[in-house]
A and B are shown apart, each in its own frame.
Chain A
Amino acid sequence: MSDNAHQTDVIIVGAGPVGLFAVFELGLLGLKTHLVDILDRIGGQCAELYPEKPIYDIPGIPVCTGQELTDKLMEQIAPFDPQFHLSEMAEELTRLDNGHWRLKTDAGTVLEAPVLVIAAGGGSFVPKKPHLEGLDDYEGESVFYAVRQMERFRDKSVLVAGGGDSALDWFIALQPIARKIALVHHRDGFRAAPHSVEAMRAIVAEGKGELHIAQMKGLEGTAPHLTGVRLEGKETGAFVHECDMLLPFYGLTMKLGPVAEFGINLEQNLIPVDTAKFESNVPGIFAIGDINTYPGKLKLILSGFHEAALMSQAAFKIARPGERLRFQYTTSSSELQKKLGVR
Chain B
Amino acid sequence: MKILVTDGHGVEHEIEATDGWTVMEMIRDAGLPIKAECGGSCVCATCHVIVEADWFAKLPEKTEEEVDMLDLALEVFDTSRLSCQIEFDPSLDGLKVTLAPDAIM
Residues of A within 8 A of B (CB): 45, 49-50, 53, 122, 128-131, 162-164, 185-187, 189-191, 215, 250-251, 253-254, 299
The total of Cβ contacts below 8 Å across the A-B interface reads 51
Q: A130 touches which one: B38, B71, B74 (CB < 8 A)? A: B74
**Residue from B69, B73, B74, B102 whose CB has the most chain A CB atoms within 10 Å:** B74
Which residues does chain B contribute within 8 Å of A130, judged by CB atoms? 74-75
Q: By the criterion CB–CB under 8 Å, are B71 and A215 in contact?
A: no
Which residues does chain A contribute within 8 Å of B44, judged by CB atoms? 49, 251, 253
B interface majority secondary structure: loop
Q: A189 touches which one: B35, B67, B102 (CB < 8 A)? A: B67
> A49-B44, A251-B44, A253-B44 known; A299 and B39 CB under 8 Å?
yes
Q: Can you offer 10 A-B residue contacts whose CB atoms are under 8 A?
A: A45-B38, A50-B43, A53-B43, A122-B37, A164-B72, A215-B76, A250-B73, A251-B72, A253-B35, A253-B37
> A131-B101, A215-B75 known; A254 and B41 CB under 8 Å?
no
Which residues does chain A contribute within 8 Å of B76, judged by CB atoms? 186-187, 215
Q: How far, in angstroms, from A191 to B38 measured CA to CA in the complex?
A: 18
Which residues does chain B contribute within 8 Å of A49, judged by CB atoms? 37-38, 41, 43-44
Q: How far, in angstroms, from A122 to B72 measured CA to CA in the complex?
A: 18
Q: Which 7 pairs, one residue from A and one from B, show the smallest C-beta to C-beta distance?
A: A191-B68, A163-B71, A251-B72, A186-B76, A49-B43, A50-B43, A130-B74
> A49-B38, A49-B44, A253-B46 known; A162 and B71 CB under 8 Å?
yes
Residues of B within 8 A of A (CB): 35, 37-39, 41, 43-46, 67-69, 71-76, 101-102
A interface majority secondary structure: loop
In the complex, residue of chain A having the shortest beta-carbon distance to the beta carbon of B39: A299
Q: By the criterion CB–CB under 8 Å, are A191 and B71 in contact?
A: yes
Q: How far, in angstroms, from A128 to B44 measured CA to CA in the complex?
A: 11
Q: How far, in angstroms, from A129 to B72 measured CA to CA in the complex?
A: 11
Q: How far, in angstroms, from A164 to B45 measured CA to CA in the complex?
A: 13
Which residues does chain B contribute within 8 Å of A190, judged by CB atoms? 71
Q: How far, in angstroms, from A50 to B43 measured CA to CA in the complex?
A: 7
Taking the nearest CB of chain A, how far is it from the CB of B41, in angstroms?
6
Which residues does chain A contribute within 8 Å of B37, judged by CB atoms? 49, 122, 253-254
Q: By the criterion CB–CB under 8 Å, are B38 and A50 in contact?
A: yes
Taking the nearest CB of chain A, how far is it from the CB of B91, in angstroms?
28
Q: By the criterion CB–CB under 8 Å, are A128 and B41 in contact?
A: no
Q: How far, in angstroms, from A99 to B69 measured CA to CA in the complex?
A: 46
Q: How far, in angstroms, from A130 to B74 measured CA to CA in the complex?
A: 5
